[in-house]
Amino acid sequence: MNQHLRYLSSRVLAGAMSRREFMGRAAALGLTAATASTFLSSAARAAGPRKGGTIKVGIQGGGSSDSLDPALAANATATSVSRLWGEPLVELDPQGGLWPRLAESFEASADARVWTFKIRSGVNFSNGKTMTPEDVLATMERHSGEDTKSGALGIMRGIKAMSVDGQNFIVELESPNADLPYLLTDYHLLIQPNGGKDDPAAGIGTGPYVLKTVEPGVRFVGEKNPDYWDDSLGHADTIEFIVINDDTARVAAVQSGQVDMINRVPPRTAGLVDRAPNINVRTTAGPGHYVFIMHCDTAPFDNMDLRMALKYGINRQEMVEKILFGYGSVGNDTPINSSYPLYTELEQRSYDPDKAKFHLEKSGFDGTVLLRTSDNSFPGAPDAAALFQQSCGAAGINVEIKREPNDGYWSEVWNKKPFVTSYWGGRPTQDSMFSTAYLSTADWNDTRFKNEQFDQLLYAARAELDEAKRKQMYADMSLLVHNEGGLICPMFNQFIDAVGEGVEGWVDAKTGFELNNFYAPMKMWVAA
């Protein structure tokens, strides 16, 4: 039977048989539609990518106010468009690990204080100039200068000096950091001619596509860069992004075949969308998580027992079912999950009204806790807050919910008020996640978690090149946040994309952002 199927799928790939006919014959052989579909797509992958054609992407997250300057990229559209025309030194491999792009290779000194990146030679920018290590240096300077607006500034701050030596780009750090290449996968850090100092929003880089049409918030068209150095990326002649911010319109666009793939299918309807005959829903479990955050230094949350009571008062399983509709996994009051390279599982904390009551009594707190939330703090946040209120109520904890407007939530409420709902997109490594939001001195320490032991462990782990020891340190740090921190993390969300049958070559990712870390349009190809 297998042989016959293989024969049939080769006929489909050769264009001699329609997909529909294949599914019919496969059903006659006793295969379910899902199995037949899987068989066909693995056959397509084995046959290799087809060149040519147009891939259209319906994408959420862009506005007409977006700039092409990668330093200002802050949404899915800006990020995925910049992937078309530009490249970083190193990229995150969606299968885990690192994927060298403009840096051919890299190595650290024994103390992880000096990093040397060997820059790929013979690569041209789309304006015809050759990309040099000087351009790399200029790019990093632009993102780390005193007056930069770059979203990557936080990452660049630990750099003491940068220099060029022949084809090498050398970074000297203030303090050792074994994770520097991971940090340089940041999506802002695309190499531009002279670092983009002359014209940051020109959209000129070394990427697989050259932008032909730029209409912010509406449409972006890239045409294949004929000189692109890497044959394994960029199969379609043209990639077109259409910004469709409305959820229903985006799903309708992939259903009617107007676009080949979309990002951010609402979890509420993802199950229904997957049942549609010509669409596959693809999920990526990443480090992104939804949080309830308490300021550890503000009354009443400075009371560790009250924090513990609230941690026991949340029903994580219920949230995954009702807020994420199953598209996610339970959190464990630490920002780290299995998508991090050095993850250690902690004992799972679960909903326990009795323990919550015990800690509440121990804390001596008998008032009402005010929780602020808004629609844009994460999808379904007000509903999640209501669930939390109910599960806490069963444990005798009074939670009052205040609905804040979306406008100004990030500037007026988050990181200002003591108890709010929010989200984190996650970071590529434990070190960067912890240093971004849990180090005492971090700007975005949105739980005001100040723990000396934690800070010391963080610095020690950075300099530690022995993986087993580092892993233990990160486990200890996770445990500290889990027990003493102000973070209540009920769930890790998944990215949900939908892909039409007009394109092939999807590879499931273990980590990264949506649409295969935004590389899906370039890694996939137009179906026969």
Partner 1 sequence: MGPALRLVAQRLALGLLLLLMVSVVIFAGTMILPGDVAQSILGQSATPEALANLREELGVNDPALTRYFEWLFGVFRGDLGTALTNNQDILTSIVGRMQNTLFLAFWAALISVPLAIFLGLLAVRYRNRWPDKLISAVTLTSISIPEFLIGYVLMYFIGVQLGWAPTVATVYDGMSLGEKLHAIALPVAVLTLVVLAHMMRMTRAAILNVMQSAYVETAELKGLTMFKIIWRHAFPNSIAPIVNVVMLNLAYLVVGVVVIEVVFTYPGMGQYLVDHVAKRDIPVVQACGLIFAAVYIGLNMVADIVSILSNPRLRHPK
- Positions touching partner 1 (CB under 8 A) are 58, 63-68, 72, 74-75, 147-151, 153-154, 201, 213, 215-219, 242-246, 248-249, 252-253, 255-256, 258-259, 405, 407-408, 410-412, 414, 422, 443-444
Specify the 3-state DSSP secondary structure of 168. Answer: strand
Residue 52 vs 217, nearer CB to partner 1: 217
Residue 141 vs 321, nearer CB to partner 1: 141
Minimum distance from residue 231 beta carbon to partner 1 (Å) = 30
Minimum distance from residue 94 beta carbon to partner 1 (Å) = 21
Minimum distance from residue 427 beta carbon to partner 1 (Å) = 10
Mention every residue, 6+ apart, whose C-beta is less than 8 A from residue 276. 255
What DSSP designation does 95 have? T
Minimum distance from residue 148 beta carbon to partner 1 (Å) = 7
Minimum distance from residue 481 beta carbon to partner 1 (Å) = 20
Minimum distance from residue 60 beta carbon to partner 1 (Å) = 11
Q: 467-484 and 430-437 helices cross at what angle (nearest 10)?
A: 40
Burial category of 97 from C-beta neighbours within 10 Å (exposed 0-12, middle 13-18, buried 19 and up): exposed
Specify the 3-state DSSP secondary structure of 485. Answer: coil
Residue 49 vs 58, nearer CB to partner 1: 58
Mention every residue, 6+ apart, whose C-beta is less than 8 A from residue 197. 138, 141, 142
Provide the residue type at 140 as one letter: M
d(Cα 385, Cα 163) in Å, to the nearest integer? Answer: 50
Phi/psi at 115 (nearest 5 deg)?
A: -115, 135
Residue 218 vs 507, nearer CB to partner 1: 218
Residue 153 vs 401, nearer CB to partner 1: 153
Provide the residue type at 88 as one letter: P
Minimum distance from residue 220 beta carbon to partner 1 (Å) = 11
d(Cα 86, Cα 147) in Å, to the nearest integer? Answer: 23
Provide the residue type at 12 as one letter: V
Residue 391 vs 432, nearer CB to partner 1: 432
Residue 345 vs 443, nearer CB to partner 1: 443
Provide the residue type at 444 as one letter: W
d(Cα 68, Cα 217) in Å, to the nearest integer? Answer: 11
